[in-house]
Structure 1
Amino acid sequence: MLESVKIARRQSEIRQNLAAVVGKGKPTDEETRQMENLDAEYRTNETRYRAALVAEDEERREAGADLETRSDREYAELVRKFDLRQVAIALDEGRALDGPTKEIVEEMRAKGGYRGIPVPLEALETRAGETIAEDQISPKAIRPIIDRIFPNSIAAKLGIERINITSGSLAFPVATAGATFGWQTTELANVGAASPYETTERSLTPDHTGGAQMVISRKALKQAGDGLEAAIRRDLNAVIGAELDRVTINGSGAAGQPLGVIPGAATYGIASTPVGAAATWAAFRAEVVAFMEANAITSPSQVNLAFDPAIWADLDDALIDGTAVSEWDRLTKQVGTPSISNVIPDETAIMTATVQGVAPGYLGIYGGVDLIRDPYTKAQSGALVLTGLVTADFTVPRGLQTRILTGVVAP
């Protein structure tokens, strides 16, 4: 027990003892001495109490910091134990959830907004050691499921940040005008006209909901066993991740999709430069210079660059006259290795920069995956139909942190 707590309890006891004797009209000599002793002890304890608080301040700070982070650590530990197979069986057979899976589902449901069984996005991440499974007891051996092929995330490589939102809208106020500097033209002149501090807002709203659908046959449920849980997690994670990556770059802003970087260039204030020439380091260098002139970066290495595979092939094939150095070599020497992805449209390149800790774009994910079972569509075959609903939105807070090059054609 902390010393300050002990002193506080003793002070309470002294006040109770004093209350019992001060109410007497004619206290005895013994009671008078008792009041004097208690009063002296009370004053001494006040000094001790203040000293104890000072001495314990650092201990209290450390305890507070531990309390602030303990809940996040505990939740992360629970998510690592989340069993997606329990969710599939619960939707198929109605079996009750238990353990960490039940605890996480109940906590997510307490926040509302789920019709089915909620699944945290973190639970869909691939876990170490799950790609190898023991053979089943069967006349033939069943090896691990071979997953489908999906592209790696290009949004993350461009510095776009993913944030989780519980509910409501999230706004990013962005300063557009502010202080100005001026010199006195005469001794008594004003230093310059006052300029208002102005901001605009970029918002993330829960207006865009998509779903990943999957039909699991009765044979798969009975045949794959524990390996099915790992395969479902990987497949849902891959298909959801691939689509979120696509809409971040190419989302049309219509038909329920968020507005992505390229279709929303004019809306977000992103500079789009039609190159109309072969891919060269000089074309990208001009955009790096534009970044520097806008005070967005101070070094070419601060730029994140991504383009389609055809541009990489053109850069690697274009040799500087009289040398064995290619345009690709010149580019990578300055900005590092760019990201190559077929998510980027043909003949297009995207350049981004993180400025003052602000990401070039924000992908907001609302809660987790709402996993819902359809008990009717495939009821005759005993198959399980799952729909994983995801609500997400994307925005670009400052357009000057992103630049787009179009028409980067083959030589």
Structure 2
Amino acid sequence: MLTSKKIELRRSDIRQSLAELAANDNPSEDETRKMGELDLEYRSAETRYRAALISEDTERREAGVELETRSDKEWSELMAGFEMRQVALALDEGATLTGRTQEIVTELRSQGGYRGIPVPWESLEMRAGETVAAGTPDPIRTAPIIDRLFAGSVASQMGASMINVGVGEMEYPVTSSAVTAGWAASETGNVPGPSAYTTLDRPLAPDNTLGIQMRITRKTLKQSGAGLEQAVRRDMNGAISESLDKAVFQGSGSAGEPTGLLAGASGWSITETAIDAAASYAAFRAAVVRFMTANAATGGGAVNLLLRPEIFDSMDELISGLAISEWDRLVSKVGKVVLSSNALAAPTGDPLASLGVMTTSSGGVAPIFVGTWGAVDMIRDPYADAQSGGLRLTALTTMDVTVSRSVQTEILTGLQ
């Protein structure tokens, strides 16, 4: 309790005592002496009360400055205290959330409506240093859960920017005008113009919902203990990353999927170049030159290249008479080469041909924007697994994809 509040309560007690003594028309010597002592104490409390208010006001101001200047590191430390285990137990057994987990959930609820328990994106990060408590007698020692295999994250490696939107839609205006400079033809001549300055809108809309369902058996809940939190987090993180990567590049724009880079290339005016030949360093070098000509890149080191693993297989053979391969030449000249069997579809046709995607971050602007709305909404189905005592969780999140400047991306087709 604040010191000022304690003093205020004591002053209230003194006033009540003085009122009782003052109601006596013939006070005794003891009552008169007590009235004097209470009056002196009340005056002293008045001075202490003013001093406490001044001191607490200073403390409030300092605390306010500290909150306003809270760094990203402090926010990360707060999120590090969020426990997925508490969410699972709250949904399964109705356990009460406590500590930082309760604080974060309360804050998220105040900013948006959730049917279940809101889970911040940061909680899906894999944390190091957390172990399962030991020392409990158990005839069988349960080792850490072995995770499933998920494809590695590709979107971030290709320069995509993750944007978290609170409510509504977000637009990115991109300059589309062809404003040019020109010289006056004579001393009194006018310079060329005027030219209209126009922009294109690249919207991110909350139209696509990604869902993940997890069925946790009663045995798992009782056997894994605190280790279940890490397992659930890693599993959800892997599933979301894998589905997101696939949607960013292969999203069809139908059946609930967002429009990915390949399906939306024509609508976003992204250049598609048909190679229709064996993948070679020369073909990728020509694409890098087109980037440089369009002022999107200053060199090969600024370019990211996404390919299928089969392309690596076909290019990593030594060139006749040389000790290097086409692949060696490519990786030495391009900034980053990413191989993925998830982000790009398997080769098709005869001969087998695949796609390649080239991106670059120009002027600090990412080539791709991936929007997410709010937090992950964690919902429990209380009926489906009630007879077996299991726990069924559904994690829902809303996402969308768009691009910035179309010249920062190029798609290569027919890579044999």
The alignment's TM-score, normalised by the length of structure 2, stands at 0.80
Cα RMSD after superposing both structures: 1.9
Q: Does 1:398 align with 2:400?
A: no
Tell me the amino acid that sits aligned with residue 242 of structure 1.
E
Q: How far off is 1:377 after superposition?
A: 0.9
Query: C-alpha deviations, 1:51-104, integer Å up to 9, x for none?
Result: xxxxxxxxxxxx999654406444322210101100000000111101000000
Alignment counterpart, residue 349 of structure 1, candidates 346, 353, 356: 356
**Which whole-Å CA distance do the structure 2 matches of 1:64 and 1:299 have between them?**
48
Question: Which position in structure 2 is the counterpart of 1:256?
Answer: 256
Question: Which position in structure 1 is the counterpart of 2:266?
Answer: 266
Query: C-alpha deviations, 1:235-255, integer Å up to 9, x for none?
Result: 111101111111011111111
Question: Which position in structure 2 is the counterpart of 1:104?
Answer: 104
Question: Which position in structure 1 is the counterpart of 2:118?
Answer: 118
**Which whole-Å CA distance do the structure 2 matches of 1:78 and 1:226 have between them?**
19
The runs of 5 or more residues in structure 2 that have no matched partner are 1-62, 348-353
**Would the alpha carbon gap of residues 321 and 135 (structure 1) be closer, same or farther in structure 2, given more than 3 Å must change?**
farther
Q: Does 1:367 align with 2:374?
A: yes
In the alignment, is the contact (CA less than 8 A) between 1:378 and 1:385 conserved in 2?
A: yes
Question: Which position in structure 2 is the counterpart of 1:295?
Answer: 295
In the alignment, is the contact (CA less than 8 A) between 2:304 and 2:336 conserved in 1?
A: no
**Which whole-Å CA distance do the structure 2 matches of 1:291 and 1:64 have between them?**
49
Question: Which position in structure 2 is the counterpart of 1:75?
Answer: 75
Query: C-alpha deviations, 1:310-367, integer Å up to 9, x for none?
Result: 00111112x3231121001111121145111112223111110001111000101111
**Would the alpha carbon gap of residues 263 and 322 (structure 1) be closer, same or farther in structure 2, given more than 3 Å must change?**
same
**Which whole-Å CA distance do the structure 1 matches of 2:65 and 2:278 have between them?**
55
In the alignment, is the contact (CA less than 8 A) between 2:358 and 2:410 conserved in 1?
A: yes
The runs of 5 or more residues in structure 1 that have no matched partner are 1-62
Please, which moves more after superposition, 376-385 or 332-341? 332-341
**Which whole-Å CA distance do the structure 2 matches of 1:133 and 1:205 have between them?**
44
SS at match of 1:392: strand
Identical pairs, percent: 51
In the alignment, is the contact (CA less than 8 A) between 1:136 and 1:142 conserved in 2?
A: no
**Which whole-Å CA distance do the structure 1 matches of 2:300 and 2:359 have between them?**
11
**Would the alpha carbon gap of residues 315 and 66 (structure 1) be closer, same or farther in structure 2, given more than 3 Å must change?**
farther
Query: C-alpha deviations, 1:131-153, integer Å up to 9, x for none?
Result: 66647632111100000000111
**Would the alpha carbon gap of residues 99 and 325 (structure 1) be closer, same or farther in structure 2, given more than 3 Å must change?**
same
Question: Which position in structure 2 is the counterpart of 1:28?
Answer: none
SS at match of 1:395: strand
Question: Which position in structure 2 is the counterpart of 1:329?
Answer: 328
Query: C-alpha deviations, 1:36-60, integer Å up to 9, x for none?
Result: xxxxxxxxxxxxxxxxxxxxxxxxx
SS at match of 1:380: coil
In the alignment, is the contact (CA less than 8 A) between 1:81 and 1:100 conserved in 2?
A: yes
Question: Which position in structure 1 is the counterpart of 2:283?
Answer: 283
Tell me the amino acid that sits aligned with residue 205 of structure 2.
T
**Which whole-Å CA distance do the structure 2 matches of 1:400 and 1:105 have between them?**
42
SS at match of 1:338: strand
In the alignment, is the contact (CA less than 8 A) between 2:303 and 2:336 conserved in 1?
A: no
**Which whole-Å CA distance do the structure 1 matches of 2:308 and 2:66 have between them?**
46
**Would the alpha carbon gap of residues 233 and 271 (structure 1) be closer, same or farther in structure 2, given more than 3 Å must change?**
same
Tell me the amino acid that sits aligned with residue 191 of structure 1.
V
**Would the alpha carbon gap of residues 272 and 65 (structure 1) be closer, same or farther in structure 2, given more than 3 Å must change?**
farther
Q: How many residues align?
A: 347
**Which whole-Å CA distance do the structure 1 matches of 2:152 and 2:254 have between them?**
25
In the alignment, is the contact (CA less than 8 A) between 1:159 and 1:359 conserved in 2?
A: yes
In the alignment, is the contact (CA less than 8 A) between 1:133 and 1:143 conserved in 2?
A: no
SS at match of 1:185: coil
Match runs of 1:3-402 below 5 Å:
68-70=68-70, 72-130=72-130, 134=134, 137-177=137-177, 179-317=179-317, 319-343=318-342, 344-345=344-345, 346=347, 347-402=354-409
SS at match of 1:372: strand
**Which whole-Å CA distance do the structure 2 matches of 1:338 and 1:396 have between them?**
20
Question: Which position in structure 1 is the counterpart of 2:50?
Answer: none
**Which whole-Å CA distance do the structure 1 matches of 2:288 and 2:251 have between them?**
26
